[in-house]
């Protein structure tokens, strides 16, 4: 993640060396040992991907079904959030959501440490094709912050009830990060109500071990996130020190975020207690049978995901954060009716690095889903 942010800096070559030194020194001084392996990985990734970032491959996209339209990384990425607020009461708390466009619902579900703001540049591409609804998960964004544990299971229940409260039918799901696993649970339980699933950079399978879940460079830090309960090592990093918002999210964006964008992402988590949902998600990756509630549900959901004939669209970037090239191949081997689109250089938050390409490809895919003839399996 950290090295890939510096790859993005290469798009402004005059600033690259200085930016890399400043960011590296600052984070090394603050976090020392936990992050040194990540920066070493970043150094290698920067060297390996310099040609990809500055050369012609970064200006094109490859798809299983032919080449997508070229996309310029200089295309304007807006920091504005011009959407009217909407709220619905779910289990006694207000959940905020964006509601733009008309027609069948396109439900965009964010993941950890973000909120509906992450979809701001994608939604305008989709409004001609349906009603875009982007909720803030409970405890995130502009949604309420009730006194709950914020476990993965609770988040899944809130999302399912949100869909029920709005009466959404024939849903197309667009998912990132933990939004994928939460929506997989819903789709498994209500497959008749889902038309297709588009997803990127998240957890949608179980892992036998930490070694399988993370590469050696990333393993130490994410192991710390799972260490201890409230007040433990992971809690201190993510809740007390706010590491995810101040360090990981900006460096996993794939480009240098503006000050306005950084402030938007910080705003929901100003208070220490407000960061508990971030911590709970970070320790909810299903690894080696733990956490039990996530492992049991996702074990069933993964098998369903492999068998369902629902159309699927996977976006991935290079080098990727969670969805590596190996993970993409797992998807190709195991998932039916899958289309794969490479969006060029990117880490985890691909809607920050190449939102317009993602928006256009989603629009094309959704329009194909809504053609009157039945697609072949």
pLDDT, tens digit (0-9, with 9 covering 90-100), for 160-171? 999 999 999 999
Is the CB of residue 99 less than 8 Å from the CB of residue 166?
no
Which among 155, 157, 180, 159 is positioned nearest to 168, based on CA atoms? 159
pLDDT band at 220 (very low <50, low <70, confident <90, very high): confident
Helix (H, G, I), strand (E, B) or coil at 41: helix
Is the CB of residue 344 less than 8 Å from the CB of residue 338?
no
Single pTM value for the model:
0.82
- 101: which residues sit within 8 A by CB, 6+ positions away? 123, 126, 127, 128, 129, 130, 131, 132
Is the CB of residue 153 less than 8 Å from the CB of residue 186?
no
Which among 320, 354, 264 is positioned nearest to 70, based on CA atoms? 354
Is the pLDDT at 261 greater than 80? The verdict is yes
Interstrand relation of 86-90 and 93-100 (parallel, antiparallel or unpaired): antiparallel
- For 225-254, the pLDDT digits (tens) are 999 999 999 999 999 999 999 999 999 999
d(CA 159, CA 261): 25
- 11: which residues sit within 8 A by CB, 6+ positions away? 53, 54, 73, 255
d(CA 170, CA 260): 36
* pLDDT (average), residues 316-329: 91
* pLDDT (average), residues 187-194: 98
pLDDT band at 219 (very low <50, low <70, confident <90, very high): confident
More confident site: 372 or 135: 135
Q: Which two tokens stand for residue 24?
A: 């590296």
Is the pLDDT at 269 greater than 50? The verdict is yes
The gap from C-alpha 326 to its chain's centroid, in whole angstroms, comes to 18
* Mean per-residue pLDDT over the chain, rounded: 83
**Domain annotation for the chain: domains and CATH numbers:** 1-59 (no CATH), 80-338+350-370 (3.40.50.1820)
DSSP codes joined into one string, 193-238: GEEEEEEESS--S-BSSHHHHS-TTTHHHHHHHTSSSTTSHHHIII
User: Which strand (E) or helix (H) includes residue 164?
Assistant: helix 152-166
Find where tokens 């798809």 sit: 63
More confident site: 42 or 370: 370
Cα separations in angstroms, 229 against 149, 172, 214, 237: 12, 36, 21, 12
Hey, which residues are catalytic here? 177, 201, 348
d(CA 69, CA 65): 12
Count how many residues are written for the chain: 377
User: Which strand (E) or helix (H) includes residue 306?
Assistant: helix 292-307
Interstrand relation of 131-135 and 171-176 (parallel, antiparallel or unpaired): unpaired
- For 28-82, the pLDDT digits (tens) are 344 444 444 443 443 343 334 323 322 233 333 445 544 344 444 457 999 999 9
Longest pairwise C-alpha distance within the chain: 59
Helix (H, G, I), strand (E, B) or coil at 89: strand
Percent of all residues in the chain with a pLDDT value above 90, rounded to a whole number: 72
pLDDT band at 203 (very low <50, low <70, confident <90, very high): confident
Find where tokens 């310099």 sit: 50
């Amino acid at each position: 993640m950290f090295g890939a942010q510096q790859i993005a800096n290469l798009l402004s070559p005059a600033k690259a060396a200085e930016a890399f030194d400043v960011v590296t020194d600052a984070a090394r001084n603050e976090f020392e040992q936990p992050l040194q392996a990540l920066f070493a990985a970043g150094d290698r990734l920067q060297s390996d991907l310099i040609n990809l970032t500055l050369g012609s491959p970064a200006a094109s996209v490859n798809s299983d079904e032919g080449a997508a339209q070229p996309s310029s990384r200089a295309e304007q990425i807006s920091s504005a959030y011009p959407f009217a607020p909407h709220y619905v009461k779910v289990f006694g708390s207000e959940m905020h959501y964006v509601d733009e466009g008309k027609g069948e619902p396109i439900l965009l579900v964010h993941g950890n440490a973000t909120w509906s703001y992450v979809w701001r540049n994608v939604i305008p591409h989709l409004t001609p094709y349906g009603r875009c609804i982007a909720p803030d998960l409970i405890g995130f964004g502009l949604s309420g912050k009730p006194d709950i544990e914020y476990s993965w299971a609770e988040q899944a229940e809130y999302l399912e009830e949100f869909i029920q409260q709005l009466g959404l039918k024939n849903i197309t799901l667009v998912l990132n990060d933990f939004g994928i696993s939460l929506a997989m649970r819903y789709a498994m339980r209500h497959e008749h109500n889902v038309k297709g699933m588009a997803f990127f950079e998240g957890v949608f399978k179980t892992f036998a071990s930490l070694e399988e879940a993370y590469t050696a460079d990333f393993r130490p830090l994410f192991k710390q996130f799972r260490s201890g309960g409230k007040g433990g090592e992971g809690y201190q990093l993510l809740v007390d020190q706010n590491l995810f918002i101040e360090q990981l999210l900006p460096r996993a964006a794939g480009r240098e975020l503006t000050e306005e964008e950084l402030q938007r992402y910080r705003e929901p988590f100003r208070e220490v207690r407000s960061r508990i949902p971030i911590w709970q998600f970070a320790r909810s990756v299903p690894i080696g049978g733990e956490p039990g509630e996530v492992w049991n549900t996702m074990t069933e959901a993964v098998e369903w995901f492999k068998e369902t004939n629902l159309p699927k669209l996977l976006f991935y970037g290079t080098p990727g954060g969670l969805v590596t090239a190996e993970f993409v191949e797992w998807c190709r081997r195991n998932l039916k009716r899958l289309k794969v689109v490479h969006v060029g250089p990117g880490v985890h938050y691909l809607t920050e690095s190449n939102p317009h390409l993602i928006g256009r490809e989603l629009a094309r895919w959704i329009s194909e889903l809504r053609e009157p003839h039945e697609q072949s399996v």
